[in-house]
Structure 1
Amino acid sequence: MDETENPIEELCNLLEEMLQHNAADTSLNAWASALKFKASSTNEAIKGLAKVIALLGRCEAAAQHIPGDKDLFLKPLRRVQFMLDNQNLNKPWQHSINYLDGETMTGLRYGVYAINQFYPGAQPETSSRIRDYIQKIDDLLEEFINSDLPDEVKNLFAKHLQALRAALTSIRINGMENLEETLDAIYGSLYRRSEAILEASPGNEGIIRKFMEMLGHANELASGWENASALLTYSSTLLLPLIKSVV
């Protein structure tokens, strides 16, 4: 996985490469060359173009994080979408190049800059930390699956880890809001099930401590590095008996 995630940059780079393709060649061959699939394979062609359509969706979702007049960034994306909607793959690539005029490409390049400023997943530090954090969640989930915890408690923690993983993955598209909502739900669930967790704690303090530390780090990410872990502070009094049991 790359250190940064800027879908508009990915799209812009793809289209700039395609603009270098022989305009007299077919659109199918132009896409095949850029996306590295065999033009003779219908299956590969469908999968390749489906990825482009999905990339456009990611671009539009990312553009929602840009403040101000979003139409400035959505307009070139819609023109690319219009190109795809009206494309005949057997006709010369020149017919499609006409959609990728100077205004459209300039708009995309400006979108690359704007996304780098405002899109959470495009921030190198945040992107790298999300990647590392997801790997730690996967490792801890494996530990819980192989632990001696009662099935009820094991399933509870596994469910929360999977929800946390999904929320972190969605930061690239939806920002921090979903992560904050997920943490709120997890803290509430832990409080409601604290009695069962406490009963299962003896002999399992280590793995439960890892889970609580994982939540603390996720909370730091959601609250921002300069904030004082607002969610954890809010929930600490409710979860104090549980926290003390594993410290």
Structure 2
Amino acid sequence: MDQTENPIEELYNLLEVLLKHNVADSSLNAWASALKFNSSNTDEAVSALKEVLLLIERCESAAQHIPGDKELFLTPLRRVQQMLKKQNLTTAWQNSINYLDGATMTGLKYGVYAINQFYPGAQPEKSSSIRDYVRKIDDLLEEFLKSDLPDEVKNLFAKHLHALSSAMTSIRINGVDNLEDTLDTIYGSLYRRSEAIHEASPGNEGIIRKFMDMLGNANELASGWQNASALLTYSSPMLLPLIKTVA
């Protein structure tokens, strides 16, 4: 399911729950209460705490989208990571909670705000646009598979639609770099195979034009993302010989 996310907010909310736990209780019980696992089940405990470490990694990855001094946001994340790696789960929670001092929690709170501003996955209106776009790719893929295009050309377009769908899905988490590389590959491939597409175009102009429009829409969607300026330089001159065949 396509969802927006702010991993630092997820981590912050978890730590807020932990901060309210009885400091005299064991660290294991504190985590078990916050993460909803059975403290007597070792497998559940290991799995749950591993997920927290993975959450921190997601936070670090998301922080890379924040412009400026990223250390402001990475430092509190590393402190939480250090707490997890050094804690003794059998000792009092008080021994671990000291890592979650005011500076650390304030730093995370700033991170929550910054991620909402700059992290692609935290922007609901853009996530919705991506979801709708991917759905249109799926619909167009079905059209291509049912078309009477030669198998060579049909497979070419299907491959590019799959790649475009994957790149557009990952943009929510990784930004536009993968999309930019994917568009480079698609444009280059279409240019190299323009003769075969030209030969197959009679009677299939409509569906080929839909594909070209889909590429243009990818550029438009990407234009609102951080570091998307390079995508705005894409233009049609390189593809004019191909596009004219379906105009």
The 1:149–1:29 alpha-carbon spacing in structure 2 relative to 1, beyond 3 Å, is farther
The 1:172–1:155 alpha-carbon spacing in structure 2 relative to 1, beyond 3 Å, is same
Q: Tell me the equivalent position of 1:52.
A: 52
Greater shift after overlay, 164-173 or 181-190?
A: 164-173
Maintained 8 Å contact 2:79/2:99: yes
Query: What's the C-alpha RMSD, in Å, of the aligned pairs?
Result: 2.7
Q: Tell me the equivalent position of 2:78.
A: 78
Q: Which residue identity lines up with residue 106 of structure 1 in the other structure? A: T
Q: Deviations over 1:188-207 (max 9, x none)?
A: 11111122223333444443
Maintained 8 Å contact 1:58/1:173: no
Q: Cα distance, 1:59 vs. partner?
A: 1.1
The 1:206–1:17 alpha-carbon spacing in structure 2 relative to 1, beyond 3 Å, is farther
Q: Matches of 2:145 and 2:41 in 1, distance apart?
A: 42
Q: Tell me the equivalent position of 1:200.
A: 200
Q: Which residue identity lines up with residue 33 of structure 1 in the other structure? A: S
Q: Tell me the equivalent position of 1:34.
A: 34
What secondary structure does 1:132 align onto? helix
The 1:6–1:197 alpha-carbon spacing in structure 2 relative to 1, beyond 3 Å, is same
Maintained 8 Å contact 1:167/1:182: yes
Q: How many residues align?
A: 243
What secondary structure does 2:69 align onto? coil
The 1:146–1:95 alpha-carbon spacing in structure 2 relative to 1, beyond 3 Å, is farther
* 1:24 and 2:24 are equivalent in the alignment: yes
The 1:24–1:220 alpha-carbon spacing in structure 2 relative to 1, beyond 3 Å, is same
Q: Deviations over 1:121-164 (max 9, x none)?
A: 32332222123223333343344445544333233223222322
Q: Which residue identity lines up with residue 242 of structure 1 in the other structure? A: L
Q: Matches of 2:142 and 2:126 in 1, distance apart?
A: 24
Q: Matches of 2:143 and 2:37 in 1, distance apart?
A: 40
The 1:223–1:30 alpha-carbon spacing in structure 2 relative to 1, beyond 3 Å, is same
Maintained 8 Å contact 1:18/1:34: yes
Q: Which residue identity lines up with residue 132 of structure 1 in the other structure? A: D
Q: Tell me the equivalent position of 1:162.
A: 162
Greater shift after overlay, 15-24 or 184-193?
A: 15-24
Greater shift after overlay, 203-212 or 175-184?
A: 203-212
Q: Tell me the equivalent position of 1:119.
A: 119
Q: Tell me the equivalent position of 2:212.
A: 212
Q: Matches of 1:147 and 1:33 in 2, distance apart?
A: 56
Q: Cα distance, 1:231 vs. partner?
A: 4.1
Maintained 8 Å contact 1:5/1:127: no
What secondary structure does 2:111 align onto? helix
The 1:93–1:155 alpha-carbon spacing in structure 2 relative to 1, beyond 3 Å, is farther
Q: Matches of 2:221 and 2:94 in 1, distance apart?
A: 47
Gaps of 5+ in 1: none
Q: Tell me the equivalent position of 1:223.
A: 223
Maintained 8 Å contact 2:27/2:96: yes
The 1:150–1:175 alpha-carbon spacing in structure 2 relative to 1, beyond 3 Å, is same
Q: Cα distance, 1:213 vs. partner?
A: 1.8
Q: Tell me the equivalent position of 2:133.
A: 133
Q: Which residue identity lines up with residue 8 of structure 1 in the other structure? A: I
Q: Which residue identity lines up with residue 237 of structure 2 in the other structure? A: T
Q: Matches of 1:204 and 1:43 in 2, distance apart?
A: 57
Q: Matches of 2:144 and 2:62 in 1, distance apart?
A: 34
Q: Which residue identity lines up with residue 21 of structure 1 in the other structure? A: H
Greater shift after overlay, 4-13 or 115-124?
A: 115-124
Q: Tell me the equivalent position of 2:182.
A: 182
Give the TM-score normalised by the residue count of structure 1.
0.83
The 1:162–1:115 alpha-carbon spacing in structure 2 relative to 1, beyond 3 Å, is same
Greater shift after overlay, 183-192 or 138-147?
A: 138-147
Maintained 8 Å contact 1:4/1:127: yes
Maintained 8 Å contact 2:2/2:131: no
Q: Cα distance, 1:210 vs. partner?
A: 2.7
Q: Tell me the equivalent position of 2:65.
A: 65
The 1:86–1:158 alpha-carbon spacing in structure 2 relative to 1, beyond 3 Å, is farther
